[in-house]
Amino acid sequence: MKKSDLPECPVATLLMLIGTKRKVLIIRDLLTGTKRFKELQRSVGCSQKVLTDNLRELENDGLVSRKVYAEVPPRVEYSMTKLGNSLSPILDSMAKWGTDYKKNLK
């Protein structure tokens, strides 16, 4: 992605990169460590196509890395890049807010 393709607003940029429910859940899972495709699919709860599309977008945006092992059957692992790991405080804040929201509901 080129800088010129990004919105001027930094919040809009963030939402463009991680603004879907599935992407946030993928990032949540990968921030705890490397995962295989099926682990992510079970945790995120989506179809193979949806997960594949979201992982490809996150990889193209430089947030997730994909490593393929030359084994039979093939093994593929996903992990956060250094740039992707910088999202950790953002997701921590989101988790804290969600917890506080639940506590304050009557």
The per-residue pLDDT for range 12-41, each reduced to its tens digit, is 989 988 988 999 999 999 999 999 999 999
**Residue 1: what pLDDT?**
67
- pTM for the full model? 0.88
**Residue 2 scores a pLDDT above 80:** no
CATH 2.60.120.580 is right for the domain spanning 19-86: no
Strand partners, 77: 36, 67
Phi, psi of 45 (to 5 degrees): 70, 55
d(CA 80, CA 97): 23
Give the mean pLDDT of 32-59.
96
| Torsion over CA: 76, 82, 86, 88 (sign) | positive
Q: Is the per-residue pLDDT at 70 higher than 80?
A: yes
The pLDDT of residue 4 is: 77
- Quickly state the pLDDT bin for 47 (edges 50, 70, 90): very high
Quick one: pLDDT band at residue 58, thresholds 50, 70, 90? very high
